[in-house]
Amino acid sequence: MNDQITAYSPDSLTEAYAILAERAGTVKIIAGGTDLMVLMNARMLDAAEFLDIWRLDELRGITDEGDRLRIGALATYTQLIKSELIQNHAPALVAASRTIGAIQIQNRGTIGGNIVNASPAGDSLPVLSAYDAEVEVGSARGTREIAFNEFYRGYRSTVLEPDEIVLAVRIPKLKEGERDFFWKVGTRRAQAISKTVMAAKAVVTGGVIQSISISVGSVAPTVIRAPKTERLLASHKLTPDLIKRAGESIANEISPITDLRSTEHYRRTVTGNVLAKFLRQLTN
Amino acid sequence: MSIQFQVNGTAREVDAPPMKRLLDVLREDLRLTGTKEGCGEGECGACSVIIDGEVINSCLVPVCQVAQTRIITVEGLASDGELEPLQRAFLECGGAQCGICTPGMLIAARALLDMNSQPTRDEIKEAIAGNLCRCTGYVKIIDAIEQASKEN
Amino acid sequence: MAVGQNVLRKEGYEKLTGAARYIDDITLDGMMYGKTIRAKIARGRITSVSFDAGFDWSRIVRCDCRDIPGKNYVLLIENDQPLLVESEVRHYDEPVLLIAADTRAEVEEAARHIRIEYEEKEPILTIEQALAGEREVLYGADNVFKRFLIARGDTDEGFAQADRIIEGEYRVPHQEQLYIEPQGMIAIPGDGSLTVMGSMQCPYYVHKAIKQLFNLPDERAIVIQTTTGGGFGGKEEYPSTIAAHAALLAHKARRPVKIIYDRAEDISATTKRHPGIVRHRTGVLSNGRLVASEIDIVLDGGAYVTLTPVVLSRASIHALGPYRCDNVRITARAVATNTPPNGAFRGFGAPQVAFAYEMQMERIAAELGIDSLELRRLNMLGEGDITATGQRLTWSVGAQDVMNEAVSRSRYVELKKDAGAAPATADNKRRGVGLAFFFHGAGFTGSGEARMKAAAGIEITAEGRARVLAGSTEIGQGTQTIFCQIVAEELGIAFDQVEVQEPDTSRVPDSGPTVASRTCMVVGRVVQMAARDAKQRLLSFVAEAFGAPEAELIEGKFVAGGRELAEFTDVARDYVEQNGKLVAIARYASPPGVEWDEDSYSGDAYPVFSWGAEVAEVEVDMDTFEVTVLKITTAQDIGRAIHPLLAAGQIEGGTLQAVGYGLLEELVWDRGRIVNNRLTNYIIPTSLDAPEMETVIIEKEYPHGPFGAKGVGELPMNGAAPAIAAAVFNATGAFVTEIPITPERLQMALEKKAVKE
């Protein structure tokens, strides 16, 4: 299998940029391979050339930049789970990483891959969205930062140019008094694809929500924020009635479909109920 | 392309297309058929091997990515025909039935014990959650890994 | 000495070192790779098959139905299933053509250059459509493959006596066996002969099918089982098709051909558990006593008859459950649909009806306001009682024992008191506990075993060892190990002195298929009888050689009057040296008094039953409707456990498959095509989905089993689904009548309940 296919395995980013500049549009980038190899094995991927970036150590590492963390695109889920920086400053990302596949996938799958694969069910993505992360991308032409919440054009489509590569993602650290949340409802307890997956972040003082961000996956063509529901909640006192209305609001705000994993009805109701879980936690 | 890596402590060199799956290189080029294929999409874990200390699905790794790495497969667990304690525990506890998931299961367990010599039952369950078994209900596999850890 | 001991499994070393050779691990010189080209419609006619003229076909071997030397069918019950489609397509992914090439890549490439065109017809895709008669009939006059009627007593009179009549309808889904080793075969052409090796449960099924397709006499078709990575029924009948496909290509190519299914092909094309609809109408007295029971079963057989009548038979016989009721009428039908044929899967009709009869018991208890445990205790079968087919239970009835053990070990009564009524926790979770009581008849139904007369034997080898000769296969359940234990125990030698001949139709007799929980109880008994015969012959030999007519064989030594005469090994060697060889073959004979009447479908359906009781503890997340099974406590009476550890492994493994059946596993269809044909979307339990299990083995010895053993393989498949459904009912008040209880289905049930309230 895969006998006719070529791959470039550069040792430096400069080499990778050069290959991309020359072969943009024909070469497919492969990182940990946990998504691409599945497609290739199922003969659902027609690429004849790959750019293997696995050796690019420049894309590894998780660093503290003061009020933000910079996570190299090749950081694996296992590295995220084990990182004290992530544990301390973005616990929802640890929680999300632990639900992705099982250990074999966590050891190989990368956050950059999850971003570029652009699946609405990518489990790390709601965290990046709720945290208002920024994606750092580069090419021979230079580097730029793109707000994560503006990274997708639509279903499985990103704003990346053909010669660009994701270098890192930056996420703001959780602030004092801020609490985050991650909840995945999958088809089983491991090796599961999400039916609905939520990440959120909020500050509550004296029972009043000062700020809140809510993001959901698997319920729309891309991972989405829920701005209406956020507005409904912001500056309000958390009451059982508000929790109920927030659940109804987000159920209406999303646009899920019935597919082979779940139903539209289930996804709407349960997304609302999962939000209620977070809001109940906030009242404690 | 020519790729060099170590398998079970022995230096190997294969000439293979870069995107050929590590699983196929092990089974076809190196005739190490202990590593199994159950799904070809990273769900069942039957093809698990350890690369540089980490357990991965060899059906999802192109061989170009393993140059200069150290790989352990099920064939590397026993030495001189003598089962290692983990394998012996599987035998004694009834952790292998049809045996098709067993190589991957042993590899996942080996990777766990190398990092965490005294895991709890919950940690064991999590460590083998990427390895599907249809025979045992997992009970005796967990028993076996627990027994092996106590002998550590 | 050996029986009852947890000896190390015979083939364990090979499985633990990666040395065991499964079919895909074998590569032969000159071997080609075969592939099946399948129909891509559910029903219709092939109008043309075209091969791309621009493709180089010189390196490809191609076969269609015209290449079959014998008749174009896969030998089974009605022989209605073609090996390759001639014109009429009856299900999606039905095999049409075969191709082979030197490499897998080449054969995949060639497959992309074949076009098949069709004239489509409206397919029958569900039981309802099969019975409605609106679409063109698929089978007979009314789409019904088979009917059974079991009648006992007078149900009209029973219903007239009843204080209440309670009705319920229950639905059960397809289930995929999902052995982790996909199906595969290698065929090797010979000079006027064929050898086929591969992953299978029943070498002699393959043997019979191959003989017919290639017009070969017995000895010219050789079938060898390779190490098999799980079966669960899925490798009972379907391997005949794959073997014959590989053989057809090999026959034409004059080279060995390997066919290995990938997972998607395996899920899409091979057999599944029969889905069904079971309706109960039960007359009860106000104290809960069952006085009349009408049960109607409809199973979906798929596109061809295959084993459906046998599955339906077992479903009918088990339909009332392990309960007493003097007025019973069970009607059963299996219908034809344009879906891949459904077939053997652990339990074989019983898990389907077990979900229904146990949920009916829960419903009756709820409607009468009595506890469901008490209802079961009031009605459960015991020794001397009579089953729905009129069978009087005379021996080895562990019903009370399993119930008492499961209830006390699990603290069921206390748990049930605490659960259900309690309010949801702060994180909106509710707990519940549920019980199921079930039984399973081991061996073939009715006169099946008496007709089959399974053969098995032992051979004393020139090396001075005993070798088991049986067609029964090791598929993970421990056949090799328990046969060696039985022989060691019967002969009086050590387990290590016994070995097993790998199943090969040229070397082992036909012991019947490795199915129906019959390997230990039926074939094990025959192996024991053969060992007894061999032992007598060795004793006569020793009597003569040593002048010791009273000699005995104890712990590997022949002794007489306290005096040690010789080692078993030495005597065995001498015997073989002097007499050529010692092969003892025995045949199965039904226990005395076991009688079955095929016409009235009454009598002793099975020589004995195994019994089980199971308690499931669940937690339901009321936000997400996900059910977590926390613990399963199960007590199962399987007669003497030849190998308690392996037996427990069977119970635990079967129980988790049943958890999958109850909670997770179902197929998604699109016009006859299975959409979720991958491991990422056909969901089986992982280690994190598996409950804690407490397993208790009850050993009510069966006088006609080997050392008292009964069947264990299928019994554990019957309990978990209804136990979990009862626990969900206890936790949430939602009475779910259809499995799997996915979160989506539980959500609907809770909403329906809320509307009612």
Q: Is A1's pLDDT higher than 60?
A: no
**Distance between CA atoms of A72 and A57, rounded to whole angstroms?**
9
Alpha-carbon distance B98 to C655, whole Å? 16
> Is C425 a residue whose pLDDT tops 90?
no
Q: How far is C688 from chain A (nearest CA, A)?
A: 6
DSSP helix/strand/coil, A215: strand
Residue C402's pLDDT is what? 98
pLDDT band at A2 (very low <50, low <70, confident <90, very high): low
Residue C579 burial (CB count, 10 A)? 11
Neighbour tally for A46: CB within 10 Å:
8
What average pLDDT is seen over chain C?
Answer: 97
Residues 6+ apart with CB under 8 A from C414: none
* C-alpha span between C735 and C169 (Å, rounded): 12
Chain B residues touching C20 at Cβ < 8 A: 99
To the nearest whole Å, the CA of B77 is away from the closest chain A CA by: 19
Rounded to an integer, the average pLDDT of A133-143 is 98
Q: What is the mean pLDDT of residues A112-126?
A: 98
Contacts of A33 in chain B (CB under 8 A): 60-62, 65
The two three-digit tokens of residue B71, written as one number:
């790989």
For A133-169, b where at least 16 C-beta lie within 10 A, e where not — what string?
bbbbbbbbeeeeebebbebbeeeeebebeebbbbbbb
Q: List, in order, residues 6 or more apart from A259 with CB less than 8 Å away.
A: none
DSSP structure class, residue C25 = G
Q: Is B59 within 8 Å of chain A by CB?
A: yes
Give the tokens for residue B15. Answer: 């000439």
Confidence of residue C419 (pLDDT cuts 50, 70, 90): confident
Minimum-distance CB partner of A38 among B42, B45, B127: B42
- Specify which residues C633 forms β-bridges with: C615, C694
Contacts of C626 in chain A (CB under 8 A): 185
pLDDT tens track for C108-124: 999 999 999 999 999 99
Reduced DSSP (H G I as helix, E B as strand, rest coil) percent helix, strand, coil of chain C, to 5:
30, 25, 40
Alpha carbons within 13 angstroms on the beta-carbon side of residue B99 total 27
**What is the nearest CA distance from B22 to chain A, expressed in angstroms?**
11
Tens-digit pLDDT profile for residues C261-282: 999 999 999 999 999 999 999 9
Q: Distance from C686 to chain A by nearest Cα, in Å?
A: 7
Integer distance in angstroms from the first to the last C-alpha of chain C? 62
Chain C hits for A268, CB-CB cut-off 8 Å, are: none
Task: Label residues C285-320 b or e (16+ Cβ within 10 Å = b).
Answer: eeebbbbbbbbbbbbbbbbbbbbbbbbbbbbbbbbb
Sequence-separated (6 or more) residues with CB below 8 Å from residue B115: B53
Whether residue C668 and residue A260 make contact (CB cut-off 8 A), yes or no, is yes
Q: What is the DSSP code string of C47-59?
A: EEEEE-TTS-GGG
Query: A103 vs B40: CB contact, 8 Å cut-off?
Result: no
pLDDT in tens, C364-378: 999 999 999 999 999
- Asked if C517 and C712 count as a contact pair (C-beta separation under 8 A), the reply is yes
Query: Is the minimum CB–CB distance between A45 and chain B shorter than 8 Å?
Result: no
Q: Subunits with at least 3 CB pairs below 8 A relative to chain C?
A: A, B
CA distance C331 to A19: 71
Does residue B57 sit at the C interface (CB-CB below 8 Å)? no
Mean pLDDT of B115-144: 98
The residue of chain A nearest to residue B44, with distances taken between CA atoms, is A191
Interchain CB contact of A191 with B (< 8 Å): yes
Tokens 């009970």 belong to: B139
Q: Which residues of B touch C478 (CB under 8 A)?
A: 97
Search chain C and give the residue with CA nearest A197.
C624
Interchain pair C624, A261: CB under 8 A? no
CB A166 within 8 A of CB A160: yes
Asked if pLDDT for residue A4 goes beyond 80, the answer is no
Find the residue in B nearest to C27 (Cα): B28
pLDDT score for A44: 87
Distance in Å from the first CA to the final CA of chain B: 41
Distance (Å) from the alpha carbon of C31 to chain B's nearest alpha carbon: 14
* B40 at interface of C, judged by CB pairs closer than 8 A: yes
Nearest-CB residue to B64 (from A7, A103, A105): A7
- The structure tokens listed for B150 are 């106590």
Banded pLDDT at A185 (limits 50, 70, 90):
very high
How do residues C20-72 score in pLDDT, each as one tens digit? 999 999 999 999 999 999 999 999 999 999 999 999 999 999 999 999 999 99
Percentage of the residues of chain C whose pLDDT score is greater than 70: 100
Cβ burial of C564 (10 Å; 0-12, 13-18, 19+) is exposed
Identify the H or E element spanning C302: strand C290-302
What pLDDT does residue C421 have?
A: 65
Q: How far apart are the C-alpha atoms of C172 and C160, rounded to whole Å?
A: 31
Put simply, the answer to whether C623 touches A266 (Cβ < 8 Å) is: no
| Nearest-angstrom CA–CA distance, A122 and C204 | 49
Please give the Cα distance from C401 to C636 (Å, whole number): 9
Instruction: Read off the DSSP letter of residue C519.
Output: I
B70 to chain A, closest Cα gap in Å: 15
Convert the pLDDT of each residue in A36-90 to its tens digit. Answer: 999 998 888 888 999 999 999 999 999 999 999 999 999 999 999 999 999 999 9
In whole angstroms, give the CA distance from residue C307 to residue C236. 10
Question: How do residues C617-660 score in pLDDT, each as one tens digit?
Answer: 999 999 999 999 999 999 999 999 999 999 999 999 999 999 99
**Residue C439 pairs with which residues in a beta bridge?**
C611
pLDDT per residue over A210-267, tens digit each? Answer: 999 999 999 999 999 999 999 999 999 999 999 999 999 999 999 999 999 999 999 9
Which of C625, C744, C745 has the most A C-beta neighbours within 10 Å, making it the best mutation to test the interface with A? C744
Beta strands in A155-280 (DSSP E): 157-158, 165-172, 178-186, 194-205, 208-217, 224-225
| Interface pTM, i.e. ipTM | 0.98
Residue A281 near residue A204 (C-beta atoms within 8 A)? no
Q: List, for residues B69-84, the tens digit of each pLDDT value.
A: 999 999 999 999 999 9
Contact of B103 with chain C, judged by CB distance below 8 Å, is answered with yes
Q: Does residue A142 carry a pLDDT above 90?
A: yes
Tell me what pLDDT residue C167 has: 98
pLDDT at A3: 65
**Interface contact B142-C13, CB threshold 8 A:** no
Mutate which of C23, C31, C180 to test chain B, going by most B C-beta atoms within 10 A? C180
